[in-house]
Amino acid sequence: MPKPNSPPGRRNLVITILFAVAVLIPSLYGFSGKFVEFVAVFRGESDGVFAITPIVNYLLATLGFFCLFGWALFQGMFSDIERPKQTFLDNEEWLDQQLAAVPAVRRPPQPPAS
């Protein structure tokens, strides 16, 4: 565990890695166990052909995840995680200014509800 006076960047990195390991290890265990079961059903039973669809789905979902992860990594999306927050806040401030500059739309008076 990092020292209390270590820089926040290093402490955040260690916490993130520990959290990732705590989440990914059980997930990988469950995913691989179910995948092995599907392959065993496919090979062992005469009616195991139904297991082809889940096997292909698992492989395609995994491939899709790794493609998106690699794309995000190579686009630099993990290099500055504070930038999207700041961009969002800047856009919100700009929209508030634009809304304040537009005069309010006059609506006809509504009759009182009876």
Instruction: With residue 93 as reference, give the H or E element that holds it.
Output: helix 83-101
Per-domain residue ranges of the chain: 8-95
Encode pLDDT of 21-53 as tens digits.
999 899 889 988 988 888 888 888 777 777 788
Per-residue confidence (pLDDT) for residue 42, from 0 to 100: 81
- Decide if pLDDT at 2 tops 60: no
Considering all CA atoms of the chain, what is the largest pairwise distance in Å, rounded to the nearest integer? 76
Encode pLDDT of 76-101 as tens digits.
877 887 888 899 999 999 998 888 87
How is 9-37 classified by DSSP, letter by letter? HHHHHHHHHHHHHHHHHHHHHHHHHHHHH
SS3 at position 84 = helix
Per-residue confidence (pLDDT) for residue 29, from 0 to 100: 92
- Percentages of the chain per state (helix, strand, coil), in multiples of 5: 75, 0, 25
